[in-house]
Chains A and B, each alone.
Chain A
Amino acid sequence: MACPVFSQELYVNTEPASNMATNSLGIRVEDQGYFTPTYKNRETLELMYGASRHLMVHGSVYVSDYYENQQHFEGGSVYMKYRFLSVDSVQKHFRGAFFTKLSSIDNPVVNQEITLEGDNSGLQSGFVFTQLLHKLALSGTISYLHAWDNAGGFNLPVANAKNAVAYTLSSGYLLLPKAYKDYSQVNVNVYAELLGKTNPGYGQSYLDAAPAVQLIFNSLIRVDFSYRIPLYNSMIRNTDHMYLVRLEYNLFNL
């Protein structure tokens, strides 16, 4: 007989292979930042839409003071994810999806890490596979990033890598409620994620452990907290020791 599900795949730092419901909209407001050498932070507004049972799209805009002394608009990105594999049973499933992301950013390039979340203009494509078992939701992604010169005449320095490989491994667990009876019960989910990137041929790479806590209110509002702790690092980047706070609101049946 079926048992309550404890695994959770609403990852904080990565996307699962599953998509949002068709015609539903997720609105995210996010703050990320770091405290040393000085406090800097970035706000992201992200809209996520379930276009069909297979396809979802995201659009994001970024504002930060990472590269200037005051907050300024940096550009945006679009993301799409296509679910091509679903092997489902009542309390477990295995899913696969292809994703791609395109960004246009007008910041100077001072870091070695290529990120499409406000730092680089570029393209990212890859695969994500998510396996949900009774107690554990495991998800892995592998993707390729290519950076172009940034908008606004900010060229990629000659010595910088133009290409990178990103890989992540995430797991999630439902801590509360123990007995799941009602949509109004607050869900508390905990996640452990590994986030890594390598610039092939440049000897630059990192791997972060990113623990995260998530609260879900009324099955509609999601609040995420995460902090990235480098396990090893040989790349100049902003994401080192970065915190993340996110608020997400969901609208169904648009």
Chain B
Amino acid sequence: MKTLKIFMVLLVLTTGIAKAQFTKAELQVSGLTCALCAKATEKSLRTLPFIGDIKPDLMRNIFVITFKNDQPVNFDEISKKVQDAGFFVNSLKATFNFDNVKVANNYFSYGGDTFRVMNGADKPLSGQVAVTIVDKGFAPRSVSKKYLSQVADAAPVKPGRVYHVAI
């Protein structure tokens, strides 16, 4: 019986992992002001293996990114590419498919990393939901500060990089 339970848990987890994915993201870059700068930033982002396509919205300094569904998304790499191009991430709103994903105590996992929902109030999440990463390097300093000051409580140790997201 115990073996069966473990098997069931593993089954749920693995199917969850298989389906759980970031499908797209809206990346707004700050300080981006010239044609050359925008193009350099986009070309740099395109070298990341998990990025499928990018559509720039040059009026709003936004890159609409479509992720490949067979490669894990690494958000830190996105922030690094933008900073290497000489700019900063002003906001990163990523769409996550919550179907078959267990959100427990406002935590969910993806690709070995942990995501903490900062304003979730344990409400059930399903389908495509846009989450905004509020960590340093993904939002203006004031915004990061506002959210991350709530993390002062002894957060449980979670696997991988812990991202903080707002919904």
Chain A residues near B (Cβ < 8 Å): 1-5, 7-10, 18-24, 50, 52-53, 83, 86, 88-91, 93, 132, 137, 179-183, 185, 187, 216, 219-220, 222, 250, 252-253
Residues of B with C-beta under 8 A to A9? 33-34
B154 at the interface (CB under 8 A from A): no
Q: Which of B12-20, B78-86, B102-110, B158-166 contacts A (4 or more CB under 8 A)?
A: B78-86
Q: Which of B56-64, B65-73, B93-101, B120-128 contacts A (4 or more CB under 8 A)?
A: B56-64
B8 at the interface (CB under 8 A from A): no
Residues of B with C-beta under 8 A to A2? 28, 59-61
Grouping DSSP codes into helix (H, G, I), strand (E, B) and loop, the B interface class, with mixed when no group exceeds half, is: mixed
B167 at the interface (CB under 8 A from A): no
Chain B residues near A (Cβ < 8 Å): 28-41, 43-44, 47, 56, 58-61, 83-88, 90, 140
Q: Can you list 23 pairs linking A and B with CB atoms under 8 Å apart?
A: A2-B28, A20-B40, A20-B86, A21-B41, A21-B86, A22-B86, A53-B85, A83-B86, A88-B30, A88-B87, A89-B90, A90-B30, A90-B31, A90-B61, A90-B90, A91-B61, A93-B33, A132-B33, A181-B58, A181-B59, A182-B58, A183-B58, A219-B35
**Quick check: A93 and B84 within 8 Å, CB to CB?**
no
Beyond A3-B59, A187-B34, A252-B39, list 13 extra A-B contacts (CB 8 Å): A53-B85, A89-B31, A89-B140, A90-B28, A91-B61, A132-B31, A132-B33, A179-B59, A181-B58, A185-B35, A250-B36, A252-B40, A253-B47
* B35 (CB) vs chain A CBs: closest residue: A219
Residues of A with C-beta under 8 A to B58? 4, 180-183
A222 to B36 alpha-carbon distance, docked (Å) = 9
* B47 (CB) vs chain A CBs: closest residue: A253
- B93 to chain A: closest CB distance in Å? 14
Residues of A with C-beta under 8 A to B33? 5, 7-9, 91, 93, 132, 137
**Quick check: A187 and B44 within 8 Å, CB to CB?**
no
Residues of A with C-beta under 8 A to B34? 8-10, 187, 216
Known: A53-B86, A89-B140, A253-B47. A21 touches B31 (CB 8 A): no
Residues of A with C-beta under 8 A to B35? 180, 183, 185, 187, 216, 219
